[in-house]
Amino acid sequence: MKTSLSALSLVLAIALAAAAASRFVWLLPLLAVALPYGTLAIFLAGLSWRVVCWSRSPVPFRIPTVCGQQKSLAWIKSARLESPHSTPGVVARMALEILLFRSLFRNTRSRLEDGPRLIQREAKWLWLGALAFHWSLLIILLRHLRFFVEPVPKVAVLLENLDGFFRIGAPVLLVTDVVVLAALLYLLQRRFRDPQVRFISLFTDYFALLLLLGIAATGVWMRYFARVDAVAVKQFVLSLTIFAPALPKNPGPLFFAHFALAGTLAAYLPFSKLMHMGGVFLSPTRNLANNNRRKRHINPWNYPVKVHTYEEWEAEFRDKLEAAGLPVERP
Amino acid sequence: MRDRAIIWSGLAMFLLFATFPFWHNLSAAVTSKGPNPVLPANARQCVAPVEYMKTSHMTLLLDWREQVVRQGRREFTAFNGQRYNMSLTSTCLEQCHSSGKAQFCDRCHDYAAASVPCWDCHVDFKSTLRSAK
Domains of chain A, CATH where assigned: 2-304 (1.20.950.20)
Nearest to A239 among B20, B32, B108 (CB): B32
Nearest to B24 among A55, A149, A235 (CB): A149
Model confidence band, residue B1 (pLDDT cutoffs 50, 70, 90): very low
Asked if B1 lies within 8 A of A60 by C-beta distance, the reply is: yes
Residues near A304 by beta carbon (within 8 Å), at least 6 away in sequence: none
Task: Give the whole-number percent of chain A exceeding pLDDT 90.
Answer: 77
Taking CA atoms, what residue in B is nearest to A235? Answer: B32
CA distance A242 to B26: 6
Asked if B117 lies within 8 A of A172 by C-beta distance, the reply is: yes
Antiparallel, parallel or unpaired: β B75-77 and B83-85: antiparallel
Average pLDDT over residues A231-258: 90
pLDDT at B2: 65
Instruction: Assess B27–A contact: CB distance below 8 Å, yes or no.
Output: no
DSSP class of B41 = S
Nearest-CA distance A166 → chain B (Å): 11
Work out the mean pLDDT of chain A and round it to a whole number. Answer: 92
**Model ipTM value:** 0.91
What are the domain boundaries of chain B?
31-132
Instruction: Assess B110–A contact: CB distance below 8 Å, yes or no.
Output: yes
Asked if A238 lies within 8 A of B11 by C-beta distance, the reply is: no
pLDDT at A124: 94
Asked if B115 lies within 8 A of A164 by C-beta distance, the reply is: yes
Evaluate if residue A36 carries a pLDDT over 60. Answer: yes
Model confidence band, residue B67 (pLDDT cutoffs 50, 70, 90): very high
- Please report residues of B whose CB lies closer than 8 A to that of A172: 115, 117
Evaluate if residue A224 carries a pLDDT over 90. Answer: yes
